Amino acid sequence: MPSPLLLDDLLLSRAEIDRVAHRRTDQEWLLERRCDLGSKVLWVAAGAGACTEVAGGVELVFTPASDLAPEVELSFLGVDSLDRAYFASHVQSPDDAPVQSDWKSLREVGRSLSDSDAGLMVTAVALDNWRTATQRCAKCGGALVAQHGGWSLHCSVDGVDHFPRTEPAVIVLVRDGEDRALLGRHVNWPPGLVSTFAGFVEAGESAEAAVRRELAEETGVLIDDHPDAVQYLGSQPWPFPASLMLGYHAWAKDSTIKVDETEIAEANWYSRDELRAACAVGEIKLPSAISISRRLIERWYGQELPDAWSW
């Protein structure tokens, strides 16, 4: 049976790197670590990282930080248990990186990375996506200069500092009185691909209110009114491009479904037996293990599900 505790096995929430955020403003320390022979640089471009396949999984490809010219701009990611420093270099394309490697996205290799590499790549990709989306000062349109170890962009015209954005989004598996799970298909997905339901938290809205609103808007299903009807289970960064997914289980007031047909094409209730039968014959496919959606489904189901049932 699933643990009543919060989800603690989310693949993109793994991290063994200490961010030592207080060092980001210490230019002397950052320069010393950059020159240290043990410091490493991860290369990222367009949401992908330099990787290589190894026995049993995938590893990130690093360059010694001391090999790079001082003018190469780096983002500081943190230090490991051996006090080795890690940086990220943001390039326009893989051709601009001085490494021979495969280039893979988090969606492709997130599950195969070690805890340390997963934490490094999630952070590096999140910073890379933010920098790509933040080319000019939102106040005056002026040019921006990276500072504080790559964790802020400064506008010299009006003195404004811009910081990485994190956009909270809720994702929920809804259960009815028969303990069936509600799964649906987005209008942009081909038939057979289903998932739990998700949406962004709006301005001035709590995450729990967003769970109720999103379900009502997309499926017509109303969440029960009792205080424990919405249960928080855990969170996972989802840098596609800048989300933090807040995972929930919730209990429906009734089982009536009326999809909006704008975002959701169809939604259905599944018992555990029905889900197993539908997946076994390929009638439906579930999200991959890298997604918090998969963990929410598995927590309800009571055990891990076969990889063959994934998208």
Domain boundary assignment for the chain: 11-133, 137-164, 167-309
**Of 8-22, 85-99, 137-151, 164-178, minimum mean pLDDT range:** 8-22
Give me the torsion for CA of 21, 25, 26, 28, rounded to 10°. Answer: 130
Share of the chain above pLDDT 90, in %: 93
* Orientation of helix 272-280 relative to helix 292-301, angle to 10°: 120
Structure-token pair, residue 160: 């404004």
In angstroms, how far is CA 206 from the centroid of its own chain?
20
Continuous segment of H or E residues that includes residue 27 = helix 27-35
**144-147/57-60 β-pairing:** unpaired
According to the model, what pLDDT value does residue 1 have?
Answer: 40
Rg of the chain, C-alpha, whole Å = 22
pLDDT per position as a tens digit, 203-227: 999 999 999 999 999 999 999 999 8
pTM for this entry: 0.93
Looking at domain 11-133, its CATH architecture is Alpha-Beta Complex (3.90)
Token output for 73: 């701009």
Helix (H, G, I), strand (E, B) or coil at 10: coil
pLDDT digits (tens, 9 = 90+) for 122-175: 999 999 999 999 999 999 999 999 999 999 999 999 999 999 999 999 999 999
Q: What is the mean pLDDT of residues 105-124?
A: 95
Instruction: Please give the CATH architecture assigned to the domain spanning 167-309.
Output: Alpha-Beta Complex (3.90)
